[in-house]
């Protein structure tokens, strides 16, 4: 099942970013530390045209610390890129992005050449919370749902430092299937665009071999490794009393519980992909996308035997 979500306002955001980028010195892309590869917008890479980039791994307090370190090393090794891990509710780490931006564009600064920084990211990644932290007040609307910010805002963080905030934006087609599931699990995709039970099963399928202890501690299900994603979801339903009439397990309710527990970190600090795993998924996605494009090509017209 391919998950896709690209509401109309995202088309407008894409155009707005394309126009704004011409005057920008540094582009900050906020990524979800639990799914850094899946939350990186491939459309943005095309739009920024080689501008210096600062990757902020937000919600690092919800992610596996070891995997956050691996992702930071991955991004910091790329040319023209710096990366920071950040819990957007903490003031001091959030302010570090100003210094990091200045290091990426040392030729900018002062009243004659003020720093102009664009901040963007997927929906519900924590941009508005970060901006409010930086400003020390509610400068931007926040909410625990996809698509809260709908208009660009310009925010002055210092006399010579302007931050342009854009609405959360995905991309027209998600070619990495696992990314669709991970984005849905994180809350970046509108609830009407996916089946919660399917997403919960995919989430459990990834967690069973990697975080079995976290599942046992949260749901009191023994021997997690012996379960499939389906039998584990049923076991969680029984443990949480999600039982329908006739004693049938309510897997829909259990799926809601699992997704909520992941988003709130009630399951613990978890990360859904490593740099190596995402590289494999991306290569497979590109291959499948190329094959799809090839199948859509019209067949060549048959040659007319009268014309040689």
pLDDT in tens, 239-257: 999 999 888 999 999 999 9
Mean pLDDT of 80-106: 85
Confidence category of residue 204, pLDDT binned at 50, 70, 90: very high
Reading the block at residue 307, the tokens are 């014309």
Reading the block at residue 107, the tokens are 């030729």
Please give the torsion angle defined by the CA atoms of residues 244, 247, 251 and 254, in that order, rounded to the nearest 10 degrees: 80
CATH of domain 8-165: 3.40.50.300
User: Where does CATH 1.10.1580.10 sit in the chain?
Assistant: 195-282
What is the C-alpha R_g of the chain?
A: 22
- Asked if 114 and 160 touch (Cβ cutoff 8 Å), the reply is yes
Reading the block at residue 171, the tokens are 């991309």
What sections of the chain are H helices per DSSP?
Answer: 8-20, 42-48, 65-76, 91-104, 127-135, 177-186, 196-210, 212-219, 229-239, 251-263, 275-296
> pLDDT, tens digit, for every residue of 97-119?
889 999 999 998 888 899 999 99
Domain 195-282 has CATH 1.10.3720.10: no
Give buried/exposed letters for 285-301 (b at 16+ CB in 10 A, else e): beeeeeeeeeeeeeeee
* CA pair distance 43, 84, nearest whole angstrom: 21
Give the SS3 label for residue 86.
coil
* CA pair distance 148, 140, nearest whole angstrom: 10
> pLDDT, tens digit, for every residue of 215-229?
999 999 999 999 999
Residue 144: per-residue pLDDT: 43
User: Where does CATH 3.40.50.300 sit in the chain?
Assistant: 8-165
């Amino acid at each position: 099942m391919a998950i896709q979500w690209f509401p109309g306002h995202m088309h407008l955001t894409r155009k707005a970013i394309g126009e704004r980028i011409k005057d920008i010195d540094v582009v900050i892309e906020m990524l979800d530390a639990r799914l850094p590869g899946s939350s990186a917008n491939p459309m943005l890479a095309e739009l920024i045209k080689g501008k210096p980039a600062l990757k902020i791994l937000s919600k690092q307090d919800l992610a596996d610390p070891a995997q956050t370190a691996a992702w930071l090393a991955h991004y910091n090794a790329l040319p023209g890129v710096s990366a920071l891990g950040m819990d957007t509710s903490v003031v001091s780490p959030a302010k570090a992005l100003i210094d990091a931006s200045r290091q990426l564009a040392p030729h900018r600064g002062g009243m004659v050449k003020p720093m102009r920084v664009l901040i963007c990211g997927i929906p519900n990644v924590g941009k508005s919370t970060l901006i409010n932290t930086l400003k020390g007040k509610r400068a931007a609307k926040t909410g625990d749902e996809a698509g809260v910010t709908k208009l660009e805002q310009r925010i002055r963080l210092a006399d010579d430092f302007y931050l342009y905030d854009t609405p959360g934006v995905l991309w027209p087609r998600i070619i990495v299937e696992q990314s669709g599931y991970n984005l849905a699990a994180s809350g970046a995709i509108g609830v009407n665009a996916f089946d919660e039970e399917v997403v919960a099963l995919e989430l459990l399928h990834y967690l069973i071999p990697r975080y079995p202890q976290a599942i046992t501690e949260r749901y009191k299900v023994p021997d997690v490794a012996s379960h499939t994603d389906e039998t584990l979801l049923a076991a969680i339903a029984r443990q949480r009393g999600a039982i329908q009439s006739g004693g049938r397990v309510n897997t829909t309710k259990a799926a809601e519980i699992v997704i909520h527990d992941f988003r709130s970190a009630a399951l613990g600090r978890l990360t859904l992909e490593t740099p190596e795993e995402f590289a494999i998924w991306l290569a497979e996605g590109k291959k499948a996308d190329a094959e799809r494009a090839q199948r859509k090509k019209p067949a060549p017209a048959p040659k007319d035997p009268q014309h040689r």
